Amino acid sequence: MSYRFTPIVSELPSSVPFVGPEAQERARGRAFRARLGANESVFGPSPHAVRAMQQEALQAWKYGDPENHDLKHALAEAHGVSPDSVLVGEGIDGLFGYTARLFVAPGMPVATSLGAYPTFNYQVATCGGRIVTVPYRDDHEDPDALLQLAREHKAVLIYLANPDNPMGSWWDAGTVQRMIDNVPDGTLLCLDEAYYEFAPSGTVPPIDTGDPRVLRFRTFSKAHGLAGCRLGYAIGEAQLIKSFDKLRNHFGVNRIAQAGGLAALADGEHLNAVIDKVARARSRIAEIAGDNGLSTLPSATNFVAIDCGRDGDYAGRVLAALVARDVFVRMPGVAPLNRCIRVSAGTDEDLEVFAAALPDALQAAS
Amino acid sequence: MSYRFTPIVSELPSSVPFVGPEAQERARGRAFRARLGANESVFGPSPHAVRAMQQEALQAWKYGDPENHDLKHALAEAHGVSPDSVLVGEGIDGLFGYTARLFVAPGMPVATSLGAYPTFNYQVATCGGRIVTVPYRDDHEDPDALLQLAREHKAVLIYLANPDNPMGSWWDAGTVQRMIDNVPDGTLLCLDEAYYEFAPSGTVPPIDTGDPRVLRFRTFSKAHGLAGCRLGYAIGEAQLIKSFDKLRNHFGVNRIAQAGGLAALADGEHLNAVIDKVARARSRIAEIAGDNGLSTLPSATNFVAIDCGRDGDYAGRVLAALVARDVFVRMPGVAPLNRCIRVSAGTDEDLEVFAAALPDALQAAS
């Protein structure tokens, strides 16, 4: 029997790009010694968050509150917005899925940068959307070109990450605000701020929940160290936020994650300590790269793109050689970004493993 | 600015039926004394699962394995099937969402019973599907009528819950197998077995992953007491299972949930103890109903439908009066099922609260 899939599904590729480090470990037959590929926070969540989750594990028999009330209100207070303007969901990836389903009918154009966050594109594709792209400019996403592209194609969504993944680059708040101000009518800017806590001050434009042209995405997966919890949120105009109720999985957020997120949000001290450790780790990564004759890109995130100085094939070989030496790293998918490998902020121990492996890896790749 | 939602989304209702007990508690200004409305397992998860989750909370900074490898393999072994035939996802609700997106193009008919699990319908509606229904027959879903309906409308999916929610009724394995054998070509039977652990032996037909006509849905939310973890799974033909990779949120399952599910699955002793406690609670609910001159429906689940003996308005008043007396219960949404209220298996203490409240609630409703 052949299955009667929808026309959209029939067109989707059957192979997907999602390979976790665990799959690589199983294939290699041994564990990584440094897990630096997924921009997770190796410094872990707040001890208060851990305790809150451990306590809540006893209550795991109860469904989580479908309104995410307590966390939503805490986030609203933290960001100085109304709770009606906050949507809590199953990580930014889950929220991208809902956003695509709200806006992307089959064939609808969606504007992004060539080489930008692939999971956004993946979610758009599952709705039959048509991705249109502009290249990065000097390793930055290009706001003006994105706006022009969106106007040209009458795109329903624009994606911009600030700071950016995979390059770590960023725009100042004024530039992003000018982009918001010029979003064409009928287009929504999906502003992915997953890494904003690591960025220098002056990177994040003020939140204006009266502005219907932008939806801002944040997460507990990065600075808060709760990637495994699947907890993200979006901030936007109340009418837009409410529209997600039409199709979101109302009981979809894990109860233990809700408790962890609430405690993490309250622990500013831990957050600041993580941000400091990440800044030190970025410097150390740059130092290690420099010791090997390589340069790094400035980063406003918890990872650093190391320019391997040649093409994507070469960087791919460097990456493979690092993986073979038990260092989990990843790299951008398209040229010219793929001359780089992407190394997440690690502990001192992690980065010593990396420092020890890199010279051999470079030699093996040459 | 008006948002450029998809045509499907523009047609969806803006109010949704998902009201959790926490929302009711906030509205009431006080907590429930007995939480018996959502068919959660008040007996809690296995202590081994709690410990595993508490331990894993320290690892919450890592994304969960997108392949759910360990849990998938453990489930495959437990059910005597190949791991390729097992899909782990964000609860059955999440898996219904993916199933709808795989199969339900706009306008496609989907067959279910009038009054059956509403979240399935909700997910179908978000894809623009057209729900067609047949009534329950003697408080059972009606396999023959569902098949006839599916043939008539060329339905792409049929929904059957065995045992059923909200009535607690069930069919023997032979009846369900005959239904599977007669699923029309081009139709997939979504067999929701969320409550199967509570059913008498002889309720569940053997799993045949060579059969492409049926996809079986199971969960850790009920007998395993992990509703808050959002962890469900589906078992079916490998080609069908693989198709979910086209659109599922690959990193969507919580890492702590993965650890909890694995430990819960290994603790058969706890599971059996829960099943025993649920059976005793069902008897006690029947006894309490009988003490108040009411009858109950036989149940193969962790809840009991109490027939309030009159119409839906009356049962609704009984329910409201119970809620006012701090007892969280729910009821079916359509006649004639809605002559009943639905009471989940509780602890002895929970059920004493219920027993004390019911006479007053009945009087208040009269």
State pLDDT tens for residues B40-50: 999 999 999 99
Contact B61 A53 (CB under 8 A): no
Q: Are residues A112 and A197 in the same domain?
A: yes
Contact B69 A41 (CB under 8 A): no
Helices (H), B29-136: 47-56, 69-79, 91-103, 118-126
Tokens describing residue A251 = 């009981």
The reply to whether omega before A336 is within 30° of 0 (cis) is yes
**Can you tell me the mean pLDDT for A339-343?**
98
Report how far residue A160's alpha carbon sits from residue A114's, in angstroms, rounded to the nearest whole number. Answer: 11
Scan residues 50-89 of B and list those with Cβ closer than 8 Å to A.
50, 53-54, 56-67, 69
Contact A246 B12 (CB under 8 A): yes
Tell me the pLDDT tens digit for each residue of A250-284.
999 999 999 999 999 999 999 999 999 999 999 99
Q: Are residues A287 and A356 in the same domain?
A: yes
Task: Establish whether this prediction's ipTM goes over 0.90.
Answer: yes
Question: Residue B192: inside a domain, yes or no?
Answer: yes
Q: Are residues B26 and B89 in the same domain?
A: no
Q: How many CB pairs under 8 A join A and B?
A: 274
Backbone dihedral angles phi then psi of residue A33, each to the nearest 5 degrees: -95, -20
In this complex, the residue of A18, A102, A252 whose CB is nearest that of residue B251 is A18
In this complex, the residue of A69, A97, A156 whose CB is nearest that of residue B22 is A69
pLDDT grade, residue A23 (50/70/90)? very high
Of A207, A236, A266, the one marking the end of a domain is A266
Q: Is-contact A289 B134, C-beta < 8 A?
A: no
Contact A61 B38 (CB under 8 A): no
Edge to edge, what strands does the sheet with B303-307 contain? B295-296, B303-307, B340-344
Q: Are residues B286 and B239 in the same domain?
A: no
| Range scoring the smallest mean pLDDT among A1-15, A69-83, B146-160, B319-333 | A1-15
Tell me the pLDDT tens digit for each residue of B20-30.
999 999 999 99
pLDDT of residue B14: 83
Question: Residue A14: inside a domain, yes or no?
Answer: no
Structural domain including A333 reads: 19-44+269-365
| Chain A residues close to B9, C-beta within 8 Å | 101-103, 243, 246-247
What's B30's domain CATH number? 3.90.1150.10
Question: Residue A6: inside a domain, yes or no?
Answer: no
Q: How many CB atoms lie within 10 A of CB B194?
A: 25
DSSP label of B140 = B
Q: Which of B84, B256, B258 to mutate to test the interface with A (most CBs of A within 10 A)?
A: B256
B241 close to A (CB below 8 A) = no
Q: Are residues A90 and A58 in the same domain?
A: yes
pLDDT grade, residue B12 (50/70/90)? very high
Q: How many CB atoms lie within 10 A of CB B16?
A: 14
Our CA-based measurement puts residue A98 at a distance from the nearest CA of chain B, in whole angstroms, of 10
Question: Residue A109: inside a domain, yes or no?
Answer: yes
Give the count of domains, chain A: 2
A236 close to B (CB below 8 A) = no
Report how far residue A317's alpha carbon sits from residue A314's, in angstroms, rounded to the nearest whole number. Answer: 5
Q: Which long-range contacts (CB under 8 A, 24 or more apart) does B248-251 make?
A: B248/B87, B248/B89, B248/B98, B249/A90, B249/A91, B249/A93, B249/A94, B249/A97, B249/B90, B250/A16, B250/A18, B250/B66, B251/A18, B251/A20, B251/A91, B251/A93, B251/A230, B251/B63, B251/B64, B251/B66
pLDDT of residue A1: 60
B16 close to A (CB below 8 A) = yes
Tokens describing residue B157 = 């999916």
Scan residues 132-191 of A and list those with Cβ closer than 8 Å to B.
156, 185-188
Nearest CA in chain A to B53: A57
A93 close to B (CB below 8 A) = yes
Q: Which of A15, A246, A267 to mutate to test the interface with B (most CBs of B within 10 A)?
A: A246
Q: Are residues B62 and B99 in the same domain?
A: yes
pLDDT grade, residue B18 (50/70/90)? confident
pLDDT of residue B235: 98
Report how far residue B263's alpha carbon sits from residue B258's, in angstroms, rounded to the nearest whole number. Answer: 9
Tell me the pLDDT tens digit for each residue of A245-254.
999 999 999 9
Q: Would the pLDDT of B56 be above 80?
A: yes
**Beta carbons within 8 Å of A230's beta carbon, 6+ residues apart:** A90, A91, A94, A221, A253, A254, A257, B64, B251, B252, B253, B254
Q: Is-contact A329 A353, C-beta < 8 A?
A: no
Report how far residue A207's alpha carbon sits from residue A75's, in angstroms, rounded to the nearest whole number. Answer: 13
* DSSP string for B286-345: HHHHHHTT-EE---SSSEEEEE-SS-HHHHHHHHHHHHHTTEE-B--SSTTGGGEEEEE-
Contact A103 B20 (CB under 8 A): no
Crossing angle of helices B312-324/B348-365, nearest 10°? 130
Question: How much of chain B, in percent, has pLDDT values that exceed 70?
Answer: 100
Question: Residue B112: inside a domain, yes or no?
Answer: yes
In this complex, the residue of B1, B64, B93 whose CB is nearest that of residue A228 is B64
Q: Would the pLDDT of A76 be above 90?
A: yes
Q: Are residues B256 and B300 in the same domain?
A: no
Q: Are residues B34 and B70 in the same domain?
A: no
Q: Are residues A260 and A310 in the same domain?
A: no
In this complex, the residue of A41, A45, A58 whose CB is nearest that of residue B50 is A58
Contact A20 B221 (CB under 8 A): no
In this complex, the residue of A26, A103, A260 whose CB is nearest that of residue B60 is A260
List of E strands, B176-231: 188-192, 214-219
Report how far residue B71's alpha carbon sits from residue B261's, in angstroms, rounded to the nearest whole number. Answer: 7
Of A221, A238, A266, the one marking the end of a domain is A266
* Mean confidence (pLDDT) of chain A: 97
Q: Are residues B92 and B231 in the same domain?
A: yes
Question: Residue B317: inside a domain, yes or no?
Answer: yes
Q: Of A250, A45, A28, which Cα lies nearest the Cα of B256? A: A45
* Separation in Å, CA B305 to CA A279, B23, B293, B340: 59, 23, 14, 6
Q: Are residues A144 and A233 in the same domain?
A: yes
Q: Are residues B260 and B285 in the same domain?
A: no
Nearest CA in chain B to A184: B1
In this complex, the residue of A23, A43, A245 whose CB is nearest that of residue B16 is A245
What's B111's domain CATH number? 3.40.640.10
The reply to whether omega before B106 is within 30° of 0 (cis) is no
Of B266, B289, B321, the one marking the end of a domain is B266
* Separation in Å, CA A163 to CA A167, A302, B274, B361: 9, 10, 49, 57
Q: Is-contact A237 B70, C-beta < 8 A?
A: no
pLDDT grade, residue A153 (50/70/90)? very high
| Cα end-to-end distance, chain B, whole Å | 50
Question: Residue B350: inside a domain, yes or no?
Answer: yes
Question: Residue B6: inside a domain, yes or no?
Answer: no
pLDDT of residue A228: 98
Give the CA-trace dihedral at B349, B350, B356, B359, to 10 degrees.
-150
B309 close to A (CB below 8 A) = no
Q: Is-contact B197 B229, C-beta < 8 A?
A: no
* 3-class DSSP assignment, residue B3: coil
Nearest CA in chain B to A1: B212
B8 close to A (CB below 8 A) = yes
Q: Would the pLDDT of B110 be above 70?
A: yes
Q: Would the pLDDT of A2 be above 90?
A: no
